[in-house]
């Protein structure tokens, strides 16, 4: 399988043989259980559906409960699909962990970023703000002009303005796998990954 569902534990640092500090994110990868094997013949495409995390039966609907019962596994919190490895025979109920990855590999990590609420242009887009003197009184953090008056007499679409910031799905590409701990089911990824602590993330080779 080409990926795993996991949980962000937090960030720390480790030191390499040369004594250099490396910022890493600790990620719990799996265990993920195969809940469905999709084939081109039955579903129109090839994919492996896996589930991660525990969930109470009463918090899931009948359709999903039947789906998990067919896979002979407990009710899972999150489902996701990954590209299968060719010529590998996948079975329902099969478990996968961090042993899928090796040190030195590069992976893509997707997650939901921290929500910042309604934010101004300085925080949202990195504007430097207006002048602090020369008649400036009430709008030191405002966006300034957003268009012209007579022509085109409108505000163009896509103008950078204040608004909702964060709480979006984001993918960080080419993060190096620094270490793999199969006993604790944890991997260390160089750099930061999207989301808050205990947030669900998707790791793909």
pLDDT in tens, 121-131: 999 999 999 88
Give the global pTM: 0.85
CATH number at 3-117+171-204 = 2.40.30.10
Residue 118: which pLDDT band, with cuts at 50, 70 and 90? very high
Residue 1 has pLDDT above 80, yes or no: no
Residue 93: per-residue pLDDT: 87
Q: What percent of the chain has pLDDT over 70?
A: 100
Residue 104: which pLDDT band, with cuts at 50, 70 and 90? very high
Q: Give the E-state strand segments of 1-131 in sequence order.
A: 3-15, 21-29, 32-38, 47-54, 76-82, 95-96, 106-112, 117-119
Region(s) of the chain under CATH 2.40.30.10: 3-117+171-204
Tell me the HSE value of 73 on the side-chain side, using a 13 A CA sphere: 26
Task: Give the long-range contacts of residues 13-16, CB within 8 A, separation 24 or more.
Answer: 14/178, 14/179, 14/188
Phi, psi of 94 (to 5 degrees): -70, 140
Q: What are the CA-CA distances from residue 79 to residues 38, 44, 82, 116, 182 (Å)?
A: 14, 19, 10, 26, 22
Residue 172 has pLDDT above 90, yes or no: yes
Residue 173: per-residue pLDDT: 96
């Amino acid at each position: 399988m080409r990926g795993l569902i996991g949980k962000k534990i937090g960030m720390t640092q480790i030191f390499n043989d040369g004594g250099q500090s490396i910022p890493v994110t600790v990620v719990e990868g799996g265990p993920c259980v195969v809940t469905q094997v999709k084939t081109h013949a039955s579903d129109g495409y090839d994919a492996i559906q896996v589930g991660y995390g525990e969930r109470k039966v009463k918090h899931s609907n009948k359709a999903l409960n039947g789906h998990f019962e067919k896979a002979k596994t407990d009710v899972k919190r999150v489902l996701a699909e990954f590209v299968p490895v060719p010529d590998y025979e996948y079975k329902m109920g099969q478990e996968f962990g961090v042993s899928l990855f090796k040190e030195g590999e590069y992976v893509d990590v997707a997650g939901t970023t921290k929500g910042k609420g309604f934010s101004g242009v300085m925080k949202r887009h990195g504007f430097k703000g207006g002048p602090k003197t020369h008649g400036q009184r009430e709008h030191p953090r405002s966006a300034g002009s957003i268009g012209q008056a007579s022509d085109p007499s409108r505000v163009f679409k896509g103008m950078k303005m204040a608004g909702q910031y964060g709480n979006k799905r984001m993918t960080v590409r080419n993060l190096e796998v620094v270490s793999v701990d199969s006993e604790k089911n944890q991997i260390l990824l160089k750099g930061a990954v999207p989301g808050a602590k205990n947030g669900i993330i998707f790791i793909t080779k």
